[in-house]
Amino acid sequence: MKKIVLASLFVFLLFLTPLVNAFAYLSIGQVDLVDYATEVRSKAWYLTVSQNQMSDYAVGTISSEEIKDPETGAHAQKDLKIEMNVDEQTCRYSIQKVSLMYRAEWKRFDLSWWECAILDYSRAEQECAEWIGSYHGYRQSTECKVWCFRMIPEAWHGELSTPSLSFKSTIKLTVDGETKTGVINRLEQTEVSFDDLAYARWVGSLSSGDECPKAKEEGVVAAYIDYSWRTTGLEEYNRYLSAYTNFYSCVSGVNTDDEAMYCVNNLNNKLDAALMYKELRSKGGSVAYTSGTVDSGMVTIKLAKLIQYPVINMWIKADWLGIVMPYGMPDIVKAYSPPFESGKTGYIHVEVKNVGSAPGSFGVYADCPSPLSKTETEYTPTLQPGETATVVLDIYGTSPVEVKRTCKVVAYDRAKPENRDETNVEVTLYPIGVCPEGERRCKDNTIEECINGAWQPIQVCDYKCDYIDGEPVCITPRTCKTDADCAPGEVCRNGICVPKPPTPPAPEWEKYLPYLLLVGGLALFGYSVWVRRKK
Amino acid sequence: MVKDEEIKEMIKEYLKEAKKELIVRQFPKAIPWLFNPANLPIVIVGSIIVFFAVLWFGGLTIANVLQALSSPYIWGLALIITSIFKPYKTLVMWSLIMTLLIWGYQVHQEVITLTERSECQLPFIGWFICSAIFAAKFAGWAWNFIVTLFASWISIYITSFIYFQLTKGE
């Protein structure tokens, strides 16, 4: 019983093996989301696809989750189905007709006794010629007999050209029901485009399990007989050709019917052998078949379509496959700001945690009311899920009094700003002492008072701010008649004392005084020298 | 007959002429050592040493001296002084006089500007305040005096040297 089960299992496996080998599976290795791929002129998914075994059909359905960029965690939105099918792998040989192949026939014509007495062969030879007719023929006239031979064309001998391989393979990419097909026409081809939506490239040739046999090396020629070509043996043809070449010398020595028959049979036997079918078979076991007319003969071998693609690099437009970008989710764990002095830089320390399911980088900023400034946005490094980072925001503000303000701290995912978290932080700004509290001073024509540590204008004078007994006061203009009625530094103008105007600029001629002095000095110098030398 | 009196007069005239000639002949010895062109390198080196000595002492820079020497006042006055007074032997004196003229004028102008300041106009204490300001300014003025003196000396020396060479000391 056990033996029967094992035998059944063995038979089942034998039956199953060719089915399993019938098609191969495709799998992807590296996946990358490329910002710009020149092959598709846009953002693209870069995949490396490999085939597990040789086959005429390879298929792989790669789920969107499998097409995942390990660095960013982004994955495709749609599944991708890749099918690679070998449609055709055919060797073709054209047949070139070379020469006719003949079957020989013979007949004997005897002379009458009278003709024999006078050795007149003309009638017999005439009959021989008539018997040969339009065919090609020979005759041997001897011993009052004429042996007549005619060559009946039976076939065309043809030679096969070097083979040409017709190859066609299609790669189909199906995304969301839409299929794009790329066609490969040569085994040596290394790239294929899919309507600008995808691009495939591989290094090296496609590995085929079979190749086109060379006819001469296989000893195969062709013969056209009975209105069709057949593949025949080259060796047999060569034997026929030898017999045909020697046929004339054979018939030249014919004296008897037996000898005539021998010559004819020898040639015809070689012909029969040369016209025997000989198969042309590839290494993979595929057998050739012939087709075409006498002038367009063709030998074809359909090779086994098993094929092994090298590792294929594919670029698929990101728009086609879609991108699902996972985002991080920020969570502000802690935020605080130590009090800082007016006019100096304060800091808000913010601790951010990524509570999302994907890595994320977060921008953090604080929005503060006056007199505090809004901070610049600082960025965390890329945080893995569960990871935390602390950023420090610079904050500025000036105030003469201590102020407490509530700043809104915001953290958001840089890739998806909608993912955000907010919290409030109290910021304390304390003043620095810039003046004695309550003191007053003149600033131009304004009286200022130190209020809460800062000079604040309290009164603008109509005429002038000045000090009386050390106190700044607005003074009214004094009436006067002359400058003597006014205080030092003042002059009397229009009946009131006004500050002395600045000294008017020097008159124009004063500018030239030094040069006049110099020119005068030179003139005097020259005159003095002249007078001295004259003496 | 020539009378004794006439002879005496003739001898007197002759001696007078001879003395004149002696003076003319001995003139190179009579002129100041400074104006001998052969001594010019020593004078230049000496001036540079003096200048750097002052520089070492502080408060004076090459720029100050060059600025002073670029003033047309200095050269105009130096030419006038040389032409009229020929200060071969009185170089320092005339340098001082020229310095006092220029420097005094500058200080005078500055004093006027300072006294017009409101602080100096204050009753009673105005004078003290002004004095204090002048005292504070004194160091600057003093160094300005040295700069002017140095520039004056150089300008008078150069003009006198040229004058001496042009007139052969006559």
pLDDT category of residue B10 using cuts at 50, 70 and 90: confident
Tell me the average pLDDT across B80-84: 91
> Could you tell me which of A438, A368, A433, A443 has the C-alpha nearest to residue A400?
A433
User: Could you tell me if A183 lies within 8 Å of chain B, comparing CB atoms?
Assistant: no
Confidence label for A410 from pLDDT (cuts 50, 70 and 90):
very high
Closest CA to A22 of A306, A285, A282, A283: A306
pLDDT of A15 strictly over 50? no
Give Cα A233 to chain centroid, integer Å.
Answer: 52
- The answer to whether residue B25 scores a pLDDT higher than 60 is no
Is A436:A443 a contact under the CB 8 Å cutoff? no
Q: What percent of chain B has pLDDT over 90?
A: 10
State yes or no: pLDDT of A2 exceeds 70: no
pLDDT tens for A194-216 read 888 899 887 776 777 777 888 88
Could you tell me if A515 lies within 8 Å of chain B, comparing CB atoms?
Answer: yes
Is B51:B130 a contact under the CB 8 Å cutoff?
Answer: no
- Percentage of the residues of chain A whose pLDDT score is greater than 70: 90
pTM of whole model > 0.95? no
- pLDDT 10s digits, B105-116: 888 888 888 777
In DSSP notation, A294-316 reads SSSEEEEEE----EE--PEEEEE
| Spatial CB neighbours of A149, under 8 Å, sequence gap ≥ 6 | A104, A105, A106, A137, A138, A139, A140, A247, A251, A260, A263, A264
Instruction: Count interface pairs A-B at CB distance under 8 A.
Output: 63
Stretch A97-116: mean pLDDT: 87
For residue B99, is pLDDT > 60? yes
Residue A9 has pLDDT above 50, yes or no: no
| Residue that the structure tokens 């130190």 belong to | A450
Q: Measure the CA–CA gap between A222 and A278, rounded to whole angstroms.
A: 9
pLDDT band at A519 (very low <50, low <70, confident <90, very high): very high
CB contact at 8 A, A332 and A412: no
User: A142 by DSSP, 3-state: which?
Assistant: strand
Compute the average pLDDT of residues A10-17.
Answer: 39
Per-chain mean pLDDT for chain A: 82
* Paired tokens of A355: 């509570």
Per-residue confidence band for B30, with pLDDT thresholds at 50, 70 and 90: very low
CA distance A354 to A358: 8
What burial class does residue B75 get, using C-beta atoms within 10 Å of its C-beta: 0-12 exposed, 13-18 middle, 19+ buried? buried
Chain B contact present for A401, CB below 8 A: no
- DSSP, collapsed to helix, strand or coil, labels residue B49 as helix
Q: Give the per-residue pLDDT at A505.
A: 66
- Selection from A183-192, A418-427, A461-470 with the highest mean pLDDT: A418-427
Residue B136 contacts A where some CB pair is shorter than 8 Å: no
pLDDT at A19: 36
pLDDT value at residue A22: 53
pLDDT at A358: 75
User: A524–B78: do the CB atoms touch at under 8 Å?
Assistant: no
Mean of pLDDT values over B124-146: 82
Q: Where does A38-79 show beta strands of DSSP type E? A: 42-51, 57-62, 75-76
**A531 min Cα distance to partner chain B (Å):** 9
* pLDDT over threshold 80, residue A431: no
Express each pLDDT in A204-247 by its tens digit.
767 777 778 888 888 999 999 988 899 999 999 999 999 998 88
Helix (H, G, I), strand (E, B) or coil at A497: strand
Is pLDDT at A6 greater than 50 in this prediction? Answer: no
For residue A521, give the nearest of B76, B166, B170 by CB distance.
B76
Q: How far apart are CA A343 and CA A267, in angstroms?
A: 122
**The pLDDT of residue A103 is above 80:** yes
pLDDT score of A10: 42
pLDDT value, residue A57: 79
What mean pLDDT do residues A295-305 have?
Answer: 85
Contact: A518, B75; criterion CB under 8 Å = yes
Cross-chain residue pair A520–B80, CB shorter than 8 Å? yes
Interface test with A, best of B79, B116, B119, B120 (most A CBs within 10 A): B79
In terms of Cβ atoms closer than 10 Å to its own Cβ (0-12, 13-18, 19+), residue A386 is exposed
Torsional sign, CA B159, B163, B165, B170: negative
Give the lowest-confidence range in A208-222, A272-286, A310-324, B54-68: B54-68
